[in-house]
Amino acid sequence: DAKTTQPPSMDCAEGRAANLPCNHSTISGNEYVYWYRQIHSQGPQYIIHGLKNNETNEMASLIITEDRKSSTLILPHATLRDTAVYYCIVRVRNAGGTSYGKLTFGQGTILTVHP
C-alpha cells in the first residue's frame, strides 16, 4: 500500500471548515483513498473513501487532485466533537469492488477544534 504524509497537527475554530491535507504521491491506479478518525479513547471510525472523483457524504467531503497524488478531507462546519486524530489511508481494491482487509495507518493529523 502506498505511503501517506499528513501534517502532525491542525487547529480549527468551531463552525468553520476544517481542511485536512494528505499527500500520497506514490499511489497506484488501483488504490483508493480512505479517511478514518479516532476520537480519544475510542476505536477508529470510517469517514469516507474515493478513487478519483470528489466524494461527499453526511460526515465530510473528499477532494482528490486530478493526478491523485494528494487529497483533502473537508469537514464543512467543524464542531468540538470533531476533535480527533484523522488518518489518511490508501488501499487496494480488486476489480470486483471488494477490498483487502488490511488498513495501514500512519501517524495521522491531530485536529483540535476550538470554541
Partner 1 sequence: DAGVTQSPTHLIKTRGQQVTLRCSPKSGHDTVSWYQQALGQGPQFIFQYYEEEERQRGNFPDRFSGHQFPNYSSELNVNALLLGDSALYLCASSLAGTALRDEQFFGPGTRLTVL
| Binding residues for partner 1 (CB under 8 A) | 41-46, 49, 85, 87, 93, 96-108
Measured from the CB atom, is 76 or 106 closer to partner 1? 106
Measured from the CB atom, is 29 or 97 closer to partner 1? 97
Measured from the CB atom, is 8 or 115 closer to partner 1? 8
In the complex, least distance from residue 99 CB atom to partner 1, rounded to whole angstroms: 5
Handedness of CA 85, 26, 3, 104 (dihedral sign): positive
